[in-house]
């Protein structure tokens, strides 16, 4: 026999109220903007954060289509196409027609892209290290565990 009162109680305990959702959304925005500012302060390449993100993804996953890259970046195809255009003009990426489907272009890094990728990773490490240095070790551990739990919910296949 099911205990509907108890099941309803459990559902209420796991429900996230609107105020909590708004607070978390605001905190995520503050964190994103703060890290972006710190990364820009550490990176002297002249590339924007989205350009550096695209460069990092393409150097890690050569041969991505624009659609695949757009999905990984969470941006519209037209936005990513413009980013790739600029990186191509800078000599960092190449568009290569797909061998099986001429309508599809694959994006590949040039040798110069690797140096920029390393700069991006160094800027990201420096920015995050700077922020984490302001937390107690227990807070860093709790943050890592909470972010890992959130990542599992967002992308369960990984």
Question: How many domains does the chain contain in total?
Answer: 1
pLDDT of residue 136: 94
Indicate the SS3 state at residue 123: helix
The enclosing domain of 74 has a CATH number of 1.10.10.10
DSSP letters, 53-72, are: HHHHHHHHSTTEEHHHHHHH
Over the stretch 59-107, which tens digit does the pLDDT of each residue have? 999 999 999 999 999 999 999 999 999 999 999 999 999 888 888 899 9
Is it the case that residue 44 has pLDDT exceeding 80?
Answer: no
Name the β-bridge partners of 155.
none
Tell me the residue range of the domain where 84 lies.
Answer: 4-154
What is the gyration radius of the CA atoms in the chain, in angstroms?
21
Residue scoring higher pLDDT (38 or 137)? 137
Q: Are strands 93-97 and 64-65 parallel, antiparallel or unpaired?
A: unpaired
| Distance from the Cα of residue 25 to its chain's centroid | 16
Spatial separation of the C-alpha atoms in residues 9 and 66, rounded to whole Å: 47
Structure tokens at 36: 């972006």
Model-level pTM? 0.63
Spatial separation of the C-alpha atoms in residues 53 and 47, rounded to whole Å: 10
Q: Among 90, 83, 31, which Cα is nearest to 57's?
A: 83
Least confident of 9-23, 26-40, 69-83: 9-23
Mean pLDDT of the region 126-152: 91
pLDDT of residue 89: 94
């Amino acid at each position: 026999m099911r205990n509907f009162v108890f099941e309803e109680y459990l559902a209420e305990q796991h429900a996230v109220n609107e105020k909590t959702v708004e607070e978390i959304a605001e905190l995520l925005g503050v964190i994103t903007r703060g890290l972006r500012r710190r990364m820009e302060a550490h990176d002297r390449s002249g590339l924007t954060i989205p350009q550096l993100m695209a460069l990092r993804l393409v150097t890690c996953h050569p041969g991505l289509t624009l659609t695949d890259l757009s999905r990984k970046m969470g941006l519209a195809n037209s936005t990513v196409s413009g980013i790739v255009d600029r990186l191509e003009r800078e000599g960092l990426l190449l568009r290569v027609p797909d061998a099986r489907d001429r309508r599809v272009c694959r994006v590949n890094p040039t040798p110069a892209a690797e140096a920029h990728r390393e700069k991006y990773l160094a800027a990201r490490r420096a920015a995050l290290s700077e922020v984490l240095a302001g937390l107690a070790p227990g807070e860093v551990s709790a943050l890592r565990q909470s972010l890992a739990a959130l990542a599992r919910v967002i992308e369960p296949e990984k």
